[in-house]
Amino acid sequence: MEINSRKENGVTIVKIVGRLDAASAPDFSKQFTDLISQGEMTFVLDFSDLVYISSAGLRSILIVAQELRKKSGKLLIASLKDIVREVFEISGFIQLFEIFDTADQAIGQN
């Protein structure tokens, strides 16, 4: 897994490349915790290059979202590929998060 982040219009866009699973979830969580501790509060998760997500990956997203909610932050999700969207639908995550077709659309909703 590779994580790239950039800031645009006051929003931190975090792009995940590869797999978000039990092996990579701790790194994902740590990088998000670091960004939150630096004062970042509004995020778009760009999943356009995410090819696989496991239950451990879903759990790490949920933990980050809960931490952000405690601090009045915001987590938006963008660009779900078909297989990842299916996992979100089956798990019920599709109802838990605001999901957009593209990162640009998510940024525009902030």
pTM: 0.92
Question: Tens digit of pLDDT for each residue in 25-60?
Answer: 999 999 999 999 999 999 999 999 999 999 999 999
Q: Check if the beta carbon of residue 43 is closer than 8 Å to that of residue 35.
A: yes
Query: Hey, which CATH number is domain 2-109, 3.20.20.70, 3.40.50.10860, 3.40.50.300, 3.30.750.24?
Result: 3.30.750.24
What proportions of the chain, in percent to the nearest 5, are helix, strand and coil?
Answer: 45, 35, 20
Structural domain boundaries in the chain: 2-109
pLDDT tens digits, residue range 5-28? 999 989 999 999 999 999 999 999
